[in-house]
Amino acid sequence: MNCTRDYCVKDINLAPSGEKKIDWVSRFMPVLQAIRKDFEEKKPFEGVRIATTLHLEMKTAFLLLTLKAAGAEVSAAASNPLSTQDDVVAALAKAGVKVYAIRGEDREQYYEFMHKALDIKPNIIIDDGADMVSTVLKERTELIDELWGASEETTTGVIRLRAMEKDGVLRFPIIAVNDSYTKYLFDNRYGTGQSTWDGILRTTNLLIAGKNVVVVGYGWCGKGIAMRARGLGATVIVVEVDPIRALEARMDGFLVMDMMEAAKVGDIFVTSTGDINCIRKEHFEVMKDGVIMANAGHFDVEISKPDLEELAVDISEPRPNITEYKLADGRRLYLLAEGRLVNLAAADGHPAEIMDMSFALQAKAAEYILNNHEKLEPKVYVLPREIDEMVARIKLASMGIKTEELTEEQRRYLESWEHGT
């Protein structure tokens, strides 16, 4: 481990490998490239301090370097102990980002590094899961006076932050980047859908076709996971608590069951709910031998590891990122990536073209906080639609796609009420 006042990384000599990764993904992130070019010219964050807790991999690195190119002092800690790429972190340290993260860090290190990232006394926070915001509100309240606001990347984080707002404990404004159209319609659906199966396939090297895949949760992430599972030839079963989403899943052509029923027939289980203990003891007790379980939700609580450990008579690791729980009756249940985000812990996360839009929104959210914090209340906000549309337009242009324009006649018609039957 190499540690100085400005960074703590596994091995600073890994930087050249990380630099190559960052250069590679940057070529497929045209929206963030456009924003970076503008930021480099205008330097809007000159003298501004931005602390981040994110998945520290190559796409994230390009966002952090974009903020640095805009003049900001940037610090970073990991939002997940198993998603950190040590060579990318080394490259960030070499580039002057104050970064503190090591793949596989324990809980104590996780929070120690987060506090180090907060020591820059940030004006803006970029969070993933709301752990940094929560830490400031509970343990680092001395930072609040200089903190203008924060942005949040994930569904899970936004749920936590809205709960904070409801309880009256928020002390600064939050931008729910996750709730922007060009984030959740694409990142949550197409990004999670592809990267989750990337992680499962890399880890197991097993066939998906012909298997019963149980998708627990049918929000935008669950929709993407289910869609891709069907494309891989699986029979897809959806488990939902929301009757409207359950009905939507059935109308989309998927089977819908409760968890106990699905537990008896599933071959592969993927959770994406943002809630705790969605698969637990009574479900493990009726599962088939050889079942594979993976989590695509933010925290490692959706599949009950304590229940698995209680039921197991032997625990082993037959392959990297696979934990085998052998039960008393001889059945073996397999948990991928310790129940953490399988797409980041066992693969490289969302594709660059997807994170291009999400991180473009994060960059613009930081700029929005910079320009508007004095008039924002301590509430959860969504970015203005024009920022969403700007991201979509740049993305379409990069794909060589032109959209239709309204004629003046059409515009007048849409703005009028006189025309009827």
Mean pLDDT of 314-342: 97
The tens digit of pLDDT for each residue in 240-279 reads: 999 999 999 999 999 999 999 999 999 999 999 999 999 9
Residue 237 CA to residue 291 CA, distance in Å, equals: 15
Q: What average pLDDT does this structure show over 11-15?
A: 98
Residues 162-181: pLDDT tens digits?
999 999 999 999 999 999 99
421 has pLDDT over 80: no
pLDDT band of 419, cuts 50, 70, 90: confident
Domain 2-183+350-399, CATH: 3.40.50.1480
pTM exceeding the 0.95 threshold for the entire prediction? no
Annotated binding site for NAD(+): 154-156, 188, 217-224, 240, 296-298, 343, 350
Binding residues for substrate: 128, 153, 183, 187
SS3 state at 213: strand
Residue range 305-315, pLDDT digits in tens: 999 999 999 99
Instruction: Say whether pLDDT at 143 is over 90.
Output: yes
What's the CATH number of domain 190-346, 3.40.50.11540, 3.30.1490.20, 3.40.50.720, 1.20.58.110? 3.40.50.720
Cα distance between residue 113 and residue 208, in whole Å:
39
pLDDT of 418 reads 83
Domain assignments of the chain as residue spans, ordered by start: 2-183+350-399, 190-346
- Which residues contribute to the annotated binding site? 128, 153-156, 183, 187-188, 217-224, 240, 296-298, 343, 350
Contact at 8 Å (CB) between 315 and 324?
Answer: yes
DSSP symbols for 29-60:
-HHHHHHHHHHHHH-TTTT-EEEEEE--SHHH
CATH topology identical between 2-183+350-399 and 190-346? yes
